[in-house]
Each structure stands twice: as C-alpha cells, then as structure tokens.
Amino acid sequence: KVGRQKEFEIALQRLRGRDADVSLEAAEIKDFIETIDKLPKAGIQDLFSRSYIGPVIIGAGLMVFQQFAGINGILFYASETFVSAGFDSGNLGTILMACIQLPLTTLGALLMDRSGRKPLLLVSTSGLIVGTLMSAVSFYLKVFTGYSRSKSQSSHSPAYWSTLQAIH
C-alpha cells in the first residue's frame, strides 16, 4: 500500500531476522515498485488488439471445445451410461467413477509438477483414445450382436470397459 514505508521495513526486518541489514533490499523493492507504476496499465480492450487476438481466440476456443468434449459431458450422462453398460444402478457406477477420479486427479496434478504438462497431456490423450475406443467397441458389440450381461458374465462386458474408461 502507498505510504506504509515504515510498516514495510518492519515486515521485511521480521522476515530477514533482527541482525540483517534490510535497507538495500528495501531500496531495491521500492525502486522496482516505482518502475512498475510507470509502466502503462493494461485493460480489457488490450486483449482485442492485433497482437493478442490470436491467442485469445485459441484460448476461448479451447475452453468452449472442452465443455463439449471434456469430463462435463461424461459426467452428465454417467448414470445412463453405466445402466446401459450393465450396472444394476447408474448411481453405483457414478459413485465408483468419482472414487476413482479423485485419487487419479491428485496423481495427475503431482505428475504435472514433476514431468510437465506436455508429456502428461500426450499420455493422457493416448489413454483417453484407447479407453474410448474400447467402450465404443463394447457398446457396438452389445447393440449389433445382441451381447448382454445376462448371456455372458465375461469380464469383457460393457460394464468392464466402462469401468476402464472411468479409471482414465
């Protein structure tokens, strides 16, 4: 805040310790703040300038695409998907999906810090493609070949593939 120089120096002294000389660091911070204050202020209209319009359109497009192709669409139809996959209750499948999704999301966040976004995105997309294809083939076989859970208790039922898809 402006005009609170003494409080700033006290806080800096407390942070660095009683014996530390903070006068040089305080002067550097003050100079830096003055330099930043002299810079031109950015506004909303700057987002639509010629140099930024491309990245803004890409970012907004990715957000819109994510709403149609992301987890929101999967979660919205999760109950119906699990019922059609052979689960007795769509609620059970949805609860299982949430219980699986929470630790894996945490693991993904931790891996993102260690390995970076790009490798994690590539691995995640590959898993998503494989899981979606397995689910699609499973439901195709169920619809067009008459496969149902009552005919066979094979571990390769649509419920099995839906569970694999939910894990990813």
**Structure confidence by residue, pLDDT tens digits, 73-102:** 677 778 887 787 777 877 887 888 888 888
**Whether residue 75 is found in the same domain as residue 150:** yes
**Whether residue 83 is found in the same domain as residue 34:** no
**Whether residue 31 is found in the same domain as residue 74:** no
- Cα 62 to Cα 48: distance, rounded to the nearest angstrom: 17
Query: Residue 150 falls within a domain, yes or no?
Result: yes
In 32-86, which ranges are E strands?
A: none
Residue 121, domain extent: 70-167
What confidence tens digit (pLDDT) does each residue in 26-70 have? Answer: 889 889 988 988 888 888 888 888 888 888 899 898 888 877 766
Query: Residue 53 falls within a domain, yes or no?
Result: no
Query: Residue 19 falls within a domain, yes or no?
Result: yes
Query: Residue 46 falls within a domain, yes or no?
Result: no
When the pLDDT of each residue in the chain is averaged and rounded to a whole number, the result is: 78
Among the residue ranges 39-43, 77-81, 130-134, 159-163, the one predicted with the least confidence is: 159-163
With 0-12 / 13-18 / 19 or more C-beta atoms within 10 angstroms meaning exposed / middle / buried, residue 37 is: exposed
- The total domain count for the chain is 2
Query: What's the half-sphere exposure (Cβ side, CA atoms, 13 Å) at 116?
Result: 3
161 near 136, Cβ under 8 Å?
no
Query: What's the half-sphere exposure (Cβ side, CA atoms, 13 Å) at 163?
Result: 12
**Whether residue 75 is found in the same domain as residue 154:** yes
